[in-house]
Copies of this chain bind each other. A is one copy, B any other.
């Protein structure tokens, strides 16, 4: 049962009687070798245990066929969906994805970038950490690799390609909806862990002013550690609801995870947010988090087109690494959000 283990192409060449360069070509692209040889090699490999050494192959090829992806954290289904869509798109294009998670730590993010450089990845896609991440890391990657930022965009960074949601549009859309069907919406901010947090605040204010309404923002000061969005939404609204504030308001949460905390706060105070009764409490979110449709009540939100963002990021990356050094001008792709009207607002 135990096939003999073979560790080098040289040995394999001796074992199955095909020259090493032919084997090398076979493993890179079987069509580069005549059918008769392919057959001989196939049969040989069945009798023997051999895998080409990953490092040795990558070291000598001009292209490694790998793209590096960095996401800020894993415990968020939004990012895992994004990651999945990127992996699928990359797989379709024949690339291998190496994922690194920065765990909300700029140092880890910087180290991951170095790893990508030292691995000669063909390109890199990064979802930035946030305000406290080191912009030099992105500039460095952008200067040395085909590089695309996604999801959230540092304000003070120029010349870097970006793919994400148009928050002016998406946040404006739901702000307008809330203003139309209920009272003027209040914005429940999220901890400013990334640049989208602020972008959505700004978009909300702009839309409110356009509608001639007075913007109100609550929950800016983070009460919790980063990344605990639900706990943040719960804590902020629990305080307000305890004082009787906002119990009849339309509340637009900066994202669905905050909104889930908000729904919990409402339930805790016996409030039933919903669009049915005019004038009552309404709660809405942003992102269309996978669980939002199962919340009680189901959560009204704006869906980000995650699949399109992942696909576009990979497409743009591949476009860049094809033209090699032509350094085309900066591309910024902003996808529209889609309103998902459910029961909560």
* Residues of A bordering B, CB below 8 Å: 51-56, 58-59, 74-75, 77, 80-81, 83-84, 87-88, 96, 98-99, 101, 103, 114-115, 117-120, 230, 234, 260-261, 263-264, 267, 290-291, 294-298
A84 to B290, CA, bound (A): 20
A117 to B99, CA, bound (A): 18
A297 to B261, CA, bound (A): 12
**Interface SS majority for chain A:** helix
The complex is assembled from copies of this chain, and their number is 2
A75-B290, A101-B87 given; A118·B263 CB < 8 A:
no
A81-B75, A99-B99, A260-B294 given; A54·B230 CB < 8 A:
no
CB contacts (< 8 Å) of A298 on chain B: these are 264
Rounded to whole Å, the gap between the CB of A153 and the closest CB of chain B is 23
Contact of A260 among B53, B267, B291 (CB under 8 A): B291
Would you call A103 and B87 a contact (CB within 8 A)?
yes
**Which residue on chain B has the smallest CB distance to residue A263?**
B296
Known: A53-B120, A98-B98. 9 other contacts (CB 8 A): A53-B59, A53-B118, A55-B58, A55-B119, A59-B59, A75-B80, A87-B103, A267-B297, A296-B296
